[in-house]
Structure 1
Amino acid sequence: MANSSSCSSTPLLVLLMACLLATATTTSRAQDPSQLSLSYYSKTCPTAEEIVRAEMACAVQANPRNAAFIIRLHFHDCFVQGCDGSVLLDDTVTLIGEKHADQNVNSLQGFELVDRIKQKLEAECPGVVSCADLLAIAARDATILVGGPYWDVPVGRLDSKTASLDQANSDIPTPQQGLATLITKFLAKGLSVTDMVALVGSHTIGMSRCTNFRDRIYGDFELTSKYDASAQVYLSKLKETCPVNGGDDRASPMDYVSPTLFDNAFFESLIKGTGLLNSDQEMYSSLLGFETAHIVEKYWADPIAFFKDFSDSMVKMGNITNPAGGEVRKSCRFVNT
C-alpha cells in the first residue's frame, strides 16, 4: 500500500535502466473522452491518487516551484496530440520528442519528479496507471498544495506511442503572440475564451525566463502601466534581472505580489498594466480584448468565480484525448518495447 508520509527519491539512472529493461504486452488502443471516468482505477489501482498526492506534497514542500512545473507540463502535454504523455518522451533513434520545441526547451521542468511518481505507481500497480493520468492528477494536487481549488479528475487516458515536435512548435501559445492568435489556438483545442483566461490564471504561481519577457519590458510595459505609481520601481527591478543583452535564463515571477500562492492577484497586475508577458497583458490591454478584459476584471473581483472556472477548464482541457489511443508506458520517457 502507499505510504503517504514518506518522501523518498531514486537515482534517475537506476530508474531509467529498470524501465528500459521492462517489457509490456499492452497493444495500442483507440480512445475517446467518453472512456474517462472517476472510477477507472477503483479496482486496478485504488491507491493511485494517494500515491500521487503524497509525492506531490513532498515535492512542493521541498520546492514550491514544483507545483508550477507540473501544471505547465500538463498544459503543454494536452496542447499537442491531446493529453497523452507525449511531452514526457525522450528523443530516441526512432522517435523525435517534444522537449526541444521552442516553448519547451530550456523551459519545461519537473521530469525527474514525474519519474519518481511513476516509479511509486509501478511498484504498487505495475502497468496500470498511465503517465498522462499521472500528469492530470498531479496538476490538480499541485494546485491544491499552493492554495488553489480542488476538482475531480476523470482518468483512463492512454499514453501515446508518438510525439510531434512540429505540433509542439505550432500549437503551444507563445509569450509574444497577440490576442487573436492566442484565442484561435485555444479554440482549436475546443477551449473557449473563458477557458483561456481561466487557464492562463495559473501564471499566478509561475515564473518566466528573461527571453520571454525582454521585448515586453523594453517595449510597451511603460505605456500599459502608466497609471500605476509603483510600476517604475517594478520595471527597474525587471530590467536588472533581464538586461538588453544576455541573461536569457534569468527568471522572474509572473505574479510579483504572491508568486508561490495560487490566488487571483495575477489578474490585478493585468488591470494595472504590469503583466510580465505580452500574451498575458494582451488579455486586458488589447483593442480586441473587450471580452477577455471583462473576464479579467471578474476574476480579480471574485476569486471564487476564478477558482470555479479554473477547475472546470482544467477538467475540460484534461478531457482532450488522443484519438489514436496508445498504451500504459512502463517509463514515462520511453514507449514500451
Structure 2
Amino acid sequence: MRHTEMPTTPMILGMALLLGFLVTLEAQLQLGFYTQSCGFAEFIVKDEVRKGLMTDSGFAAGLIRLHFHDCFVRGCDGSVLIDSTASNVAEKDSPVNNPSLRGFEIIDNAKAKLELMCKGVVSCADIVAFAARDAVEMAGGLGYDVPAGRRDGRVSLATDTFTNLPPPTADVNLLTQIFANKGLTQEEMVILSGAHTVGQSHCTSFSNRLYTYNTTTSQDPTLDPNYAAQLKQQCPQGSTNPSLAVPMDPMSPFSLDSGYYMAVLANRGLFSSDQTLLTNSDTANQVNQNAVNPYLWRRKFAAAMVKMGQIGVLTGDAGEIRTNCRAINQ
C-alpha cells in the first residue's frame, strides 16, 4: 500500500506564495475604494452620464465601447482617453477608433467635477469603468458593483489597437483567441458581443459584406437578403461619406437587450464577427441560450463587464492619477 507523503517545506512555501499571489490579485481593486477619499465619486460620474444620455441616448453605447477599447489595449488604464501629440498618434486616433469612439466629453465633465471636489484622487480609468456601468444600467441592463483603484497609464499608441482589438471581419477562432489573450473565455466573448445590441456602426466596417465579399460573390451569402437590401440603401456603394452609419440592432438600437442574438439567429448580424458565432457549435448554442433567456444574459453580461474591467489594471504606485484625462501629467 502506498502512503501519502506530507508536502515538503519548499512545497508548502511555494503553495503559500501562490496563495498570497492570488489574494494579491483579487485585492488589487476594491469595492468602495473612494468611500473615504472621495465619497461622492460614483454619484458624480453617474450624474454626468445621465446628463449626457439626456442629450443623446447613443452615448450609452459609446461609453460601453470606450471601456472595452480601453481595457483591450494596455489594460484598463485610461490610455484610450489620451490625445495625440506632434510626436505621437494616440489610441483614439487609430482608424480602429476614430471616428467611432464617443463619450469623451462625458468623461471630461466628470473628471472636471471630481478635480474640484477631490483633487488628484479619482483616476480617469476608474471614471471610464464607472461610466460604462452607468451606461449599461441606463440602457436597460443590470447594474453591478465596480471594484476601483485603477491608476492611469502614461502610454497611448495607435499601433497597439491593430493587434489587440478584434476586427469586424474576425472569425470565431480569432475572436476566441483575442479574448483568451485578455483572460476571457469563449463564453464571455459571446456574452460581451451582445453589447452590439446598442449603438451604430459606420458603413465602412461592413460594406465589404455588401459589395466586395470575395472573388466569387459580391454579397455575403450568410447575410439575410432583405437585410442586405436595406443596408445597401443606407450605405450606397462607392459613397465617400465617412460619417454614414446604421444601427447595429435596428429593432432596439438604444436598449441593452437580447435583440442582438435574435438578429444573429435571423442572419442579420451586422458584422462578419457577429454572424460567425453560428459557425461553431458551442458559440451557436450560447447565442440560442442568450436569445431565449434575456435576464440570464443580462446577469452574465454584468459579471463579464466586471471581469473585463480588471484586465491589466495599474494599482498601488504604478501609473498616475491624471489631472486631465486627455494628457499625461507633466
Aligned to 1:151: 144
Residues 233-290 of structure 1: CA deviation (Å, up to 9, x unaligned): x322210111121134211111111111111011000001011111111112x2xx11
Structure 2 unmatched runs, 5+: 1-23
Residues 40-64 of structure 1: CA deviation (Å, up to 9, x unaligned): 1000001001001111111111100
Aligned pairs for 1:180-191 within 5 A? 180-191=173-184
Counterpart among 300, 305, 311 of residue 296 in structure 2: 305
Counterpart among 257, 263, 271 of residue 251 in structure 2: 257
- Measure, in 2, the Cα distance between the counterparts of 1:147 and 1:155: 23
Aligned to 1:242: 235
Q: Which amino acid aligns with 2:233?
A: E
Q: Is the 8 A contact 1:273 1:281 kept in 2?
A: yes
Q: What displacement does 1:157 show?
A: 0.2
Higher relative contact order (CA 8 A, sep 6+): 1
- Measure, in 1, the Cα distance between the counterparts of 2:118 and 2:27: 24
- Measure, in 1, the Cα distance between the counterparts of 2:181 and 2:61: 24
- Measure, in 2, the Cα distance between the counterparts of 1:133 and 1:61: 22
Aligned to 2:270: 276
- Measure, in 2, the Cα distance between the counterparts of 1:323 and 1:108: 23
1:267 aligns with 2:261: yes
- Measure, in 1, the Cα distance between the counterparts of 2:79 and 2:180: 21
Q: What displacement does 1:111 show?
A: 1.3
The size of the alignment, in residue pairs, is 299
Q: Which runs of 4+ in 1 moved over 4 A?
A: none
Aligned to 1:12: none
Aligned pairs for 1:18-97 within 5 A? 34-93=27-86, 95-97=88-90
Aligned to 2:3: none
Aligned to 2:123: 130
Counterpart among 183, 192, 201 of residue 194 in structure 2: 201
Q: Which amino acid aligns with 1:292?
A: T
- Measure, in 2, the Cα distance between the counterparts of 1:62 and 1:39: 29
- Measure, in 1, the Cα distance between the counterparts of 2:220 and 2:270: 12
Q: Which amino acid aligns with 1:190?
A: G
Q: TM-score, normalised by structure 1?
A: 0.85
Structure 1 unmatched runs, 5+: 1-30
Which SS does the other structure have where 2:246 is aligned? Answer: strand
Highest CA radius of gyration, 1 or 2?
2
Q: TM-score, normalised by structure 2?
A: 0.86
Aligned to 1:223: 221
Residues 137-169 of structure 1: CA deviation (Å, up to 9, x unaligned): 000000111111111100000000112322211
- Measure, in 2, the Cα distance between the counterparts of 1:122 and 1:333: 14
- Measure, in 2, the Cα distance between the counterparts of 1:56 and 1:163: 24
CA RMSD, aligned part only?
A: 1.7
